[in-house]
Amino acid sequence: MAEKIVVVKNRAGIHARPAALIAQTANKFASEITIERDSFVINAKSIMGVITMAASYNMQLLVKATGPDENEAIEAINTLFENKFEEE
């Protein structure tokens, strides 16, 4: 299992567009990918799951991946967060 703490850096937080980018990116990988906020755990491959997490600006989330490409999956998701979902 690979895991990494990511921070929501875009001011609008995770709304529909970033959620779609996260799910699209996660679906490129064979690994199971989850995102955790407090005790709330969602499947990163589900757009609705990601939206319902209601992650706002500067919030820390834990991304976990388990599978054959777990490290690549974590890095791809982390890159989305680092690039502020290309919104700013």
The residue from 4, 15, 37, 84 that is catalytic is: 15
Q: Is 15 among the residues known to form the active site? A: yes
Which of 77, 87, 82 lies closest to 3, judged by CA?
A: 77
Burial 44-72 (b: 16+ CB within 10 A, else e): bbbbebbbebebeeebebebbbeeebbeb
- DSSP annotation of 85: G
Which positions are annotated as active-site residues? Answer: 15
